Structure 1
Amino acid sequence: MTSKTLVVNTDLSHHLLSAIRSAAPDWKVVASKDSKSIQEDLEQAEIVLHWKSAAANTLLQNNNQLKWVQAWSAGVDSLPLSGLQQKDVMLTSANGVHAFPISETIFAMILGLTRKIHTYVRQQQEKNWHNGGLELEIHQKTIGIIGTGAIGQETAKIAKAFGMKTLGVRHSGKLVNDFDGMYQTEQLEQVLSQSDFVVITLPLTKETTHLFGKEQFRQMKDTAFLINIGRGEIVDEEALIQALRNKELAGAGLDVFETEPLPADNPLWEMDNVIVTPHTAGATEHYTERVVKEIFIPNLRYYLLNGIPQKNVVDYKKGY
């Protein structure tokens, strides 16, 4: 009997690869980040861990065995969702592995902006001894978290340590732990008008594209800060730039942008009240370990018993 094929389209450490092989002992498990060198295996793969654009044509056009793809990222908007759906391929995301590093980045930005750390770094380079207008605290303030998945929940949990009031926005409006209030998307204005910090942790979908524009920035306090670690296209970047110039917002911490890399002539680079990071909020020393051990292997074991994965299954209609 010919064994089924599982392709890991990246290089893994020996212990992680061994753990996958132990979970699927009767399967042929192939691992390589070079899609060309494993093209024949990709054509026969029933399961693929780590979608790569270099392998897209092979998987979508030449593979009739493919049943499940485990994405390497939480966001799947860059994958050919319609093509995978047409082939009836199940897709799972890496949602959940980012909760610790991204929540840390969110508070690094909030604290950096309020305690003027970004200002002091610039002044240090200039050897300029000045208080930089330092006055703000985050204790007892209100934080609005737009998107209450794993990242949003971890952010709310940390916010509670600062005595902050936590407001969330989610489709259902159902309250979850560490939130003082929960609102539905159509009630977004109520959250924006109350919040001292607005944090976007949403995935990119048709519904969330340019969810934040001129009107939303006008609804926010002019003393409020915007933090976006979701996707750049959720924010109308030109509207954000104008809002910052017009002092409709106090500042912004941005890890994602409509165009990446952020063009050198983009005004956000030089704004004193903006922190720019290069889409690295989710980077962590534990990323690979978490994807494989906390998501993929449990999903693999469930798949081998039930024919479907269990965790983080993407709803193609929702786009996440």
Structure 2
Amino acid sequence: MAKRKMVITKDLHKDLIDQIKQVVPDWDIIAGKDKEIWGPHVNEAEVTLGYKLELEDFSNLKWTQSTSAGINHFPTEQFKSNGILLTSANGVHAYPISETIFAYMLGLTRKIHTYVKNQQEKVWHHSNMKLEMHEKTIGIIGVGAIGKETAKIAKAFGMKVLGVRHSGQPVENVDEMVTPDRLDDLLPKCDYVVVTLPLTDETYQLFTARQFTLMKSSAFFINIGRGKLVKEEDLISALQSGEIAGAGLDVFEKEPLGEDHPLWEMDNVIVTPHTAGSTEYYDKRVVEDIFIPNLKAYLEGQKPYINLVDYSKGY
């Protein structure tokens, strides 16, 4: 009888591979980032772990564990029609992304990005720095794991925290929670607008000229969700006209950001190359906190229960 097969499309540390092997000692495990390693086996795999997956035959696959929070790069329609389960890596990013969010917020508020440029040019200049972050209002658009951690840290700065959540259910450290249909009511109250949403049909270009018009001219916009949550030309216009004060952006409509893109040259923008979630503990958290508990449930005939994607919602 052929062994059950697992394909891992990543170069995981040996210790993590060994932990997986302890759970499925009788399985054939193929692991490696290069397609030459996993490509010949992927159509025979029952379970896969990784970011990329190129399948010709969907008949053998039962479950895929994504190593990213987003699932847009997976063939979800084929997964749905073939009854293939998909789990995401939501929760892995809460610490590094919340740290990045506050790096943007502090950097823009205290003009750290401006001073770094001045340092490179050996310019001693005040640069009209005057803002404080303490006791301001932050709006967190998408209060999942990242949003909850962001809200907790915001409270250390004495901030008022407003949140948008699909269910509208209250969450610790969020002073006021609303449903997405009330987003426009929330925006005028915020000094910082932080977007942590996944990309779905409902959230595509959620932020357009209308939303930026509703924001305070002194407000900063932070996007670490997905670039297509924002109509980028409207954001650029709002930044150029002074409709909003500035932005911290990790994601863009098209990546990598083109060399001639206007966002590169804006003094009121901090650009990072889709690295907000990068951390030394990434693989360890995916494997130990999500994949192995899900794998144990799967072996017992249950559905993986951590971050199981609802195809009807898109996350």
Counterpart position of 2:245: 250
Out of 192, 204, 207, the position equivalent to 1:209 is 204
Query: Which stretch has the larger CA shift, 205-214 or 303-312?
Result: 303-312
Q: Which amino acid aligns with 1:210?
A: Q
CA contact (8 A) 1:255 1:280 kept: yes
Bigger shift: 81-90 or 163-172? Answer: 81-90
Residues 49, 71 of structure 1: 8 Å contact kept: yes
Q: Kindly indicate whether residue 63 of structure 2 is the aligned counterpart of residue 68 of structure 1.
A: yes
Distance 2:119 2:169 in 1: 46
- Residues 139-175 of structure 1 deviation map (CA, whole Å, 9 limit, x = unaligned): 0000000000000000000000000000000111110
Cα distance in 2 for partners of 1:225, 1:84 equals 39
2:41 is paired with a residue whose SS is helix
Hey, what does 2:85 align to over in structure 1? 90
5 Å matches for 1:9-88? 9-52=9-52, 55-56=53-54, 59=55, 61-88=56-83
Q: Which amino acid in 1 is paired with 2:26?
A: D
Contact 2:31–2:37 (Cα < 8 Å) also in 1: no
Q: Distance in 2 between matches of 1:316 and 1:63?
A: 17
Structure 2 unaligned blocks of 5 or more? none
* Of 94, 110, 114, the match for 1:115: 110
Q: How many residues align?
A: 315
Equivalence for 2:128: 133
1:99 aligns with 2:100: no
Residue 295 of structure 2: which of 277, 280, 300 is its match?
300
Q: Residues 113 and 270 of structure 2 are in contact (CA less than 8 Å); yes or no, is this contact kept in structure 1? A: yes
Name the aligned partner's letter for residue 102 of structure 1. Answer: I
Secondary structure of 1:82's counterpart equals helix
Matched residue of 2:39: which SS? helix
Q: Secondary structure at the match of 1:306?
A: coil
1:207-246 matches, cutoff 5 A: 207-246=202-241
Cα distance in 2, alignment partners of residues 38 and 245 from structure 1: 47
Query: Structure 1 vs Structure 2: percent identity of aligned residues?
Result: 57
Any conservation in 2 of the 1:45–1:63 contact (CA below 8 Å)? no
* Deviations, residues 64-91 of structure 1 (Å, cap 9, x unaligned): 2100000110011122211221221100
1:17 and 1:37 map into 2 onto residues whose CA distance is 15
- Residues 284 and 113 from structure 1, CA distance in 2 versus in 1: closer, same or farther, beyond 3 angstroms? same
Q: Which residue of 2 aligns with 1:184?
A: 179
> How far is the alpha carbon of 1:51 from its aligned partner?
3.7
Preserved CA contact (<8 Å) 2:8 2:38: no
Conserved 8 A contact 1:42-1:63: no
- Counting only pairs closer than 5 Å after superposition, residues 161-176 of structure 1 correspond to structure 2 as 161-176=156-171
Determine the structure 2 residue equivalent to 1:8. 8
**Is the deviation greater in 210-219 or in 43-52?**
43-52
Structure-2 change in CA distance of 1:311 and 1:243 (3 Å): same
**Are residue 198 (structure 1) and residue 193 (structure 2) matched?**
yes
1:311 lines up with 2:290 in the alignment = no
2:137 pairs with one of 117, 132, 142:
142
- Kindly indicate whether the alpha-carbon contact (under 8 Å) linking 1:102 and 1:151 is maintained by their aligned counterparts in 2: yes
Shift of 1:271: 0.7
* CA distance, structure 2, for counterparts of residue 131 and residue 92 of structure 1: 49
SS of 1:207's partner is coil
* Contact 2:30–2:37 under 8 Å retained in 1: no
TM-score calculated relative to the size of structure 2? 0.98
Q: Give the secondary structure class of the aligned counterpart of 1:227.
A: strand
Partner in structure 2 of residue 124 of structure 1: 119
Return the alpha-carbon distance in structure 1 between the equivalents of residues 196 and 62 of structure 2.
Answer: 29
Identify the residue that residue 257 of structure 2 maps to in structure 1. Answer: 262
- CA RMSD of superposed structures (Å): 1.0
What is the CA–CA distance in structure 1 between the aligned matches of 2:80 and 2:34, rounded to whole Å?
Answer: 25
CA distance in 1: counterparts of 2:75 and 2:127, whole angstroms: 47
In 1, Cα distance between the equivalents of 2:270 and 2:280? 23
Report the alpha carbon displacement of residue 13 of structure 1 after superposing the two structures with TM: 1.3
Can you give the 5+ residue segments of structure 1 that lack an aligned partner in the other structure?
Answer: none
CA deviation string 1:273-305 (max 9, x = no partner): 000110000000000111111110010001111
Distance 2:41 2:121 in 1: 56
